[in-house]
Amino acid sequence: MSDAGNEEEHRDFFGRSLLINLLRALHLVGVVGLGVAALGVRPVSEMAVFAGILAASGVFIAALDRWANSAYFFQLNGLAVLLKVLLLAAVGYVLFVWDGGEPAAPDPDTRDCPDCKSEIWIDARRCPYCTSVVPPLADAPEES
């Protein structure tokens, strides 16, 4: 005879494992998408889409695990998920909120082309992009 007070409560429904696998696949899509956007292969504007996919799928996975096991966040797996969320929040803060101190000083070896506004060497006489003649910096008229 088993004691009902000592048994852990586990709930399940038909298709739960399939749903978890689908959410894990979406979670991986979010991770890969963020990595690709962070490396500059895709535009940074797409980062929000992949971050949303990553966050939503992670929350749904944790919610399903919590629903299936009421003590989930008190066990090692649940504590690891909470630690991961805290670390991701810290990384997100550093990347997107914290300014990191003073901005970098502009490069003194370059200037902008007056015609096409491309960055050119400071001693260039002709723009390599639009091929316009660029006056030397000392001879350039001063703007007031």
SS3 65: helix
Tokens of 72: 């989930």
Tokens of 90: 């810290």
* 31-53 confidence digits (pLDDT tens): 888 888 778 777 767 777 888 88
Tokens of 11: 């709930």
125 and 138 Cβ atoms separated by less than 8 Å: no
- pLDDT at 22 (0 to 100): 92
Residue corresponding to tokens 């949303």: 52
CA distances from 36 to 22, 41, 98 (A): 21, 6, 22
129 and 118 Cβ atoms separated by less than 8 Å: yes
pLDDT band, very low/low/confident/very high, at 73 (cuts 50, 70, 90) = confident
* Domain assignments of the chain as residue spans, ordered by start: 16-96, 106-139
Buried/exposed 54-87: b ≥16 CB within 10 Å, e otherwise: beebbebbbebbeeebeebeeeeebeebeeeeee
pLDDT band, very low/low/confident/very high, at 107 (cuts 50, 70, 90) = low
pLDDT of residue 24 exceeding 60: yes
- pLDDT at 142 (0 to 100): 52
